[in-house]
């Protein structure tokens, strides 16, 4: 029963509004409905003040339409009583006689002032804000979706969180679109109020003079007061609804309600409040001014400023005490501590002193994000990323972080405090520091955190600084996965595999390959970003190859062959694999120039021919990227290792597959480029 009543309340209410338009309503019932209308508008206004973000009140556009229809229904019902009986209840009579002192002139002026406030000031501004908010929200949707996908791919969020964020983005766009249309209801309601009061006034005078035999002045006084009372009764809740509309479309996402947020932000500068207090007292001494009123207001402001100053000093003293207590604790000089300080960590993040606030105790801080990233990489690549040591460093410039691998810096970036990174093309109007995103090389700007909503309204993708650092860390780990795979990691992986597939390990290690040789093979796979999570299948392929030869290059190729379709499946676009091929004549010449070496097979090429081949490859890759696509380079199996070494330094991240690997998934092959050269290969 409790769940049924809310479901039936709105449908029954709408049916009642429709009946209100056609069925006469007695005056006592009209009083109750008018009071209900005023209180409904007041509750809606107060709700908009206490919501933390607009989406928390997503039903507002529909509720605005229902409330507007309700007021218009009351206008029809009151008009019927005013013109038919000359009496429309105590509420309207009270507004007509008491609220405006029984003066039709005063009532008309007050009504016109309310209309001007609603129509010219509140409604006009709310309509414009809703229109701009809807346009910018729709423009920012693709960037927000890309940011969600980036966080998901980096392991910063789960699939459930990503699904919820996508739903929130869609709901936000729907809400602002609905508010853009709902603001037209408020505008139309203001216009309708003016027209209705004119119709009621003309109709009342006509009925009083023609039907009831009143004098023109008497009819104007009687029906005019009722009309003004009716207009005020409906215009006040209409004004409240217009203010509610303006409140909801101008709110940005916050962690508190509007009252708390306003008090916090207005009190952030005690000097400004103190100056305002002194100015109020000074204005009180102007001749003719009410000095006591100004003195009371000025003294109140000075007291508030004094309390804010005392609170700031207390917080500063507490922070100083905490820093002194931390300095008292001297570092230990035991052997274990010294060994720990001497040890070179596999993965390390150094933060400038002003960035240590990124390391907190919540699940959304840097440490929590790094844990999620380690889980993500373990699932995607099949390696256990070593624990990431995080510490501060006074040697770093302000707002700077450094990522180190085995004590050597592998990347550096900026993450200014109280700022967010905005990526977009229309950032010139925003304050901040221009920068370049460290992973994808996109131009952006670090803007103050409080300007986040403004940046989003320009269509920019806004990323918090922890996400920037973790995305950079994810990219560096992917590029250096081979270096991070230690021999101890290989031992742990093989022991874990032995528990579920003992034959795959027993046949290979240590009888055919040592852990060091297996580590070298796995590092070779990771160097080409090939996941090693299917370790059982890799070991089975290595077992067959190791019976013939333990050549490292041959073992890596055997491991790749054992993975089969998994190699090409990662590069599919739907069911299509786009490939760049090598001209058959050039490929045959390369096969003839293939020679073994200590570093693996090499293709003997002169410098001029190398430039021709790499230049043709660069042109093919650029032509594909301009279309927003990606492709892989395919070649004969015997050439694949040598060609990969040849192009890896020039084409960062370009996958190189053999013909067998490209066709293993049974996908459709689409040739998007051919590498050509005109001169003969010099062998």
Alpha helices in 432-534 (DSSP H): 452-457, 465-479, 481-484, 487-500, 502-506, 515-527
Angle ∠(470,381,158) on CA atoms, nearest 5: 50
Q: Which of 674, 624, 616 is nearest to 646 (CA)?
A: 616
Residue-level pLDDT at 328: 41
The tens digit of pLDDT for each residue in 342-400 reads 678 889 999 998 888 888 645 457 888 898 899 999 988 899 888 898 888 888 999 99
Q: Are 99 and 46 in contact (CB under 8 A)?
A: no
Residue-level pLDDT at 520: 93
Q: Is the pLDDT of residue 99 over 70?
A: no
User: What burial class does residue 558 get, using C-beta atoms within 10 Å of its C-beta: 0-12 exposed, 13-18 middle, 19+ buried?
Assistant: buried
How many angstroms separate the Cα of 582 from the Cα of each of 148, 640, 657, 683? Answer: 38, 12, 12, 18
- 682 confidence band (pLDDT: 50, 70, 90): very low
Residue-level pLDDT at 210: 67
Residue 407: strand, helix, or coil: coil
Residue-level pLDDT at 363: 43
The residue-averaged pLDDT of 635-660 equals 86
Find where tokens 């003294």 sit: 299
Rounded to whole angstroms, the Cα distance separating 151 from 417 reads: 20
The tens digit of pLDDT for each residue in 540-582 reads 999 999 988 889 899 999 999 999 888 888 888 888 999 999 9
Residue-level pLDDT at 680: 44
Q: Is the pLDDT of residue 469 over 90?
A: yes
Angle ∠(164,167,172) on CA atoms, nearest 5: 125
- 266 confidence band (pLDDT: 50, 70, 90): low
The tens digit of pLDDT for each residue in 149-179 reads 777 766 667 778 888 888 877 777 777 677 7
**φ, ψ at 208 (rounded to 5°):** -65, -40
The residue-averaged pLDDT of 25-34 equals 81
Q: Is the pTM of this model over 0.85?
A: no
Residue-level pLDDT at 344: 80
Chain center to CA of 301: 39
Q: Which residues pair with 603 in a beta bridge?
A: 594
């Amino acid at each position: 029963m409790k769940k049924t009543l809310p479901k039936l309340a709105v449908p029954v209410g709408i049916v009642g509004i429709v009946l209100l338009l056609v069925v006469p309503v007695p005056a006592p019932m009209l009083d109750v409905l008018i009071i209900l209308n005023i209180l409904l508008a007041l509750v809606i206004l107060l709700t908009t003040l206490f919501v933390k973000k607009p989406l928390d009140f997503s039903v507002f556009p529909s509720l605005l339409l229902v409330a507007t229809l309700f007021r218009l229904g009351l206008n029809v019902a009151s008009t019927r009583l005013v013109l038919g009986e000359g009496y429309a209840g105590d509420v309207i009579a009270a507004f007509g006689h008491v609220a405006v002192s029984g003066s039709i002139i005063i009532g008309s002026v007050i009504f016109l002032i309310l209309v001007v406030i609603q129509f010219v000031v509140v409604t006009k501004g709310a309509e414009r804000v809703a229109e701009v908010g809807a346009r910018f929200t729709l423009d920012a949707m693709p960037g927000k979706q890309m940011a969600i996908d980036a966080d998901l791919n980096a392991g910063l969020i789960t699939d459930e969180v990503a699904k919820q964020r996508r739903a929130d983005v869609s709901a936000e766009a729907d809400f602002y679109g609905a508010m853009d249309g709902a603001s037209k209801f408020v505008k139309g309601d203001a216009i309708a109020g003016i027209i209705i009061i004119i119709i009621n006034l003309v109709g009342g005078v006509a009925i009083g003079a023609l039907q009831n035999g009143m004098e023109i002045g008497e009819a104007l006084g009687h029906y005019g007061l009722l009309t003004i009372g009716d207009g005020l009764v409906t215009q006040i809740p209409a004004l409240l609804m217009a203010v509610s509309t303006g409140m909801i479309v101008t709110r940005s996402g916050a962690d508190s309600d509007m009252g708390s947020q306003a008090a916090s932000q207005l009190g952030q500068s005690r000097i400004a409040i103190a100056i305002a207090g002194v100015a109020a007292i000074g204005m009180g001494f102007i001749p003719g001014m009410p000095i006591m009123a100004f003195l009371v207001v000025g003294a109140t402001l000075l007291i508030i400023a004094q309390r804010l100053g005392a609170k700031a000093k207390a917080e500063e003293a507490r922070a100083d005490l905490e820093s002194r207590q931390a300095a008292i604790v001297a570092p230990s000089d035991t052997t274990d501590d010294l060994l720990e300080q001497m040890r070179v960590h596999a993965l390390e993040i150094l933060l400038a002193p002003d960035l240590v606030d990124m390391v907190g105790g919540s699940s959304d801080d840097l440490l929590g994000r790094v844990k999620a990233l380690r889980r993500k990489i373990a699932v995607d690549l099949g390696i256990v990323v070593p624990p990431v040591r995080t510490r501060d460093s006074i040697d770093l410039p302000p707002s700077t972080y450094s990522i180190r691998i085995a004590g050597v810096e592998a990347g550096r970036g900026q993450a200014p405090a109280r700022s967010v990174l905005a990526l977009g093309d229309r950032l010139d109007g925003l304050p901040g520091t221009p920068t370049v995103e460290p992973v994808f090389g996109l131009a952006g700007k670090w803007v103050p955190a409080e300007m986040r909503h403004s940046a989003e309204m320009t269509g920019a993708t806004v990323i918090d600084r922890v996400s920037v650092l973790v995305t950079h860390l994810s990219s560096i780990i992917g590029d250096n996965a081979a270096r991070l795979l230690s021999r101890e990691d290989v031992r742990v992986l093989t022991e874990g595999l032995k528990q579920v597939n003992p034959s795959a390990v027993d046949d290979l290690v240590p009888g055919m390959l040592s852990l060091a040789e297996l580590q070298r093979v796995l590092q070779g796979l990771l160097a080409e970003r090939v996941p090693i999570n299917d370790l059982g299948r890799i070991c089975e392929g290595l077992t067959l190859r190791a019976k013939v030869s333990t050549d490292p290059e041959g073992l890596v190729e055997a491991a790749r062959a054992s993975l089969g379709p998994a190699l090409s499946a990662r590069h599919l676009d739907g069911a299509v694999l786009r490939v760049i091929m090598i001209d058959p004549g050039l490929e045959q010449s390369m096969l003839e120039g293939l020679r073994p070496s200590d570093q693996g097979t090499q293709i003997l090429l002169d410098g001029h021919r190398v430039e021709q081949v790499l230049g043709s490859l660069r042109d093919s890759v650029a032509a594909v990227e301009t279309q927003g696509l990606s492709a892989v380079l395919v070649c004969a199996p015997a050439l694949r290792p040598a060609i990969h070494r040849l192009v890896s330094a020039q084409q960062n991240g370009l996958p190189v597959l053999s013909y067998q690997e490209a066709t293993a998934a049974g996908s459709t092959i689409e040739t998007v480029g051919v590498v050509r050269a005109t001169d003969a290969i010099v062998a």
